[in-house]
Chain A
Amino acid sequence: MSASSSSVAPGGLRSAAKRKTTAEKKAQATNANPVSTRSAGAGGSSATMLKLFTDEAQGLRVDPLVVLFLAVGFIFSVIILHVFAKITGKFTS
Chain B
Amino acid sequence: MSGFRLLDLVKFFLPILPEVELPYEKVTLDEKIIFTVSSGIIFLLGQLPLYGLKPNAYLYIQDPFSDFRSIFAMEKGTLLELGLLPVLTSAFIWQLAVGFKVINVNLSLRSERELFQTGQKLTTYGLSIVYLAGLLFSNYYDESLKSYVIGGVAAWGSLFLIFVQVFIFNFFVTSIVEVIDKGLGFGSGALTLLTVQYTSNFVRDLIGLEILPLKNSNKTESFGSLANLVKNFSFNPKTLGGNVLNSFTRFELPNLTQAYIAVASILVVVGLNNFRIELPIRSTKMRGMANVYPIKLLYTGGLPLLFTVTILANLQVFGYFIASIFQYRFLGSYELVNTSLVLNNGILYYFTSPSVVQAVLNPLRTVVYSLTVVFLSTWFANHWALFSGSAPKDISKQFKEQGISISGKRDVSITKELSRIIPVAAVSGAFLLSVTAIVGEVLGGKGKGIAGVVGICAAFSIMEDFVIESQQSGGTSQLLGALSGYQ
Contacts and interface: CB of A to CB of B under 8 A. Distances in A.
Interface of A: 33-64, 67-68, 70-72, 74-75, 78-79, 81-82, 85
A61 B21 CA distance: 6
A51 to B, nearest CB: 4
Given A34-B107, A53-B117, A82-B51, A47 B21 contact: no
A79 B120 CA distance: 31
B484 interface: no
B187 A49 contact: yes
Contacts of A43: 183
Contact of B175 (A44, A67, A72): A67
B99 interface: yes
Interface of B: 14-23, 35, 38-39, 42, 45-46, 48-51, 79, 87-88, 91, 95, 98-99, 101, 105-108, 110, 113-118, 120-121, 146, 165, 168-169, 172, 175-179, 181-184, 187-191, 298-303, 306, 384-391, 393-394, 426, 457-458, 460-461
B184 A64 contact: yes
A75 B117 contact: no
Contacts of B188: 45, 49-52
Contacts of A67: 18, 20, 172, 175-176, 178-179
A68 B39 contact: yes
A37 B178 contact: no
18 contacts: A37-B107, A38-B388, A38-B389, A45-B91, A46-B390, A49-B461, A52-B120, A53-B178, A55-B110, A57-B118, A59-B16, A64-B20, A70-B172, A72-B45, A74-B168, A74-B172, A75-B169, A81-B51
A31 B78 CA distance: 49
A48 B303 contact: yes
Contacts of A41: 108
B21 to A, nearest CB: 5
Given A39-B394, A59-B118, A68-B176, A48 B457 contact: yes
Given A62-B20, A74-B169, A78-B51, A68 B38 contact: yes
Contact of B461 (A42, A48, A72, A74): A48
Contacts of B99: 35-36
Contact of A56 (B21, B38, B389): B21
Nearest to A84: B51
A49 B298 CA distance: 12
A71 B42 contact: yes
Contact of A48 (B20, B87, B300): B300
Nearest to A44: B389
